Amino acid sequence: MTSILGVFNTQLIRFFEDLYQTFPEERDIKSALELIKFAKQSNPKLILDLFYIHVYVDLHEAVSREDSDFIVSYAHTKINNEFNEISPALTIFDKYWDKMSDTNKNSIWKYLKVLCALCEKMKV
């Protein structure tokens, strides 16, 4: 049986793979994907902890209500002031959200909602 942590890590990797396929010009996404894959092998809980600190704590409510304005503003501020392994995903909100198709936006919301739900299960 796959653990919640395993499912979380697999979902985060799929999310970054989809982001990289959609935005191949964003090299930071590819680098973050490789780091996440490495961390999954060496310290899988680290990925969850980083997501919790850099996404869940500040954004889970905005994700649940699909508040893109809040997330775009947050992403812009976070990217300019602090880089971490999750920052490349935030770049997508900062640079591309307004131009993105509804299909891509819906896909991102689904990923983020699932990741936040899994994170919440692990952290509660």
- Per-block mean pLDDT, blocks of 10 residues, the chain (124 long): 86 94 89 90 91 91 96 78 65 85 95 96 82
What is the sign of the dihedral through the CA atoms of 111, 93, 74 and 46?
A: positive
SS3 of residue 15 by DSSP? helix
CA dist 90 and 70 (Å) reads 12
What are the backbone dihedrals phi and psi of residue 80, each rounded to the nearest 5 degrees, phi first? -75, -20
Say how far apart CA 26 and CA 29 lie, in whole Å: 6
The DSSP secondary-structure symbol of 99 reads: G
Give me the residue spans of the domains in the chain.
4-123
Distance CA 69, CA 84 (A): 21
3-state secondary structure (DSSP) of residue 25: coil
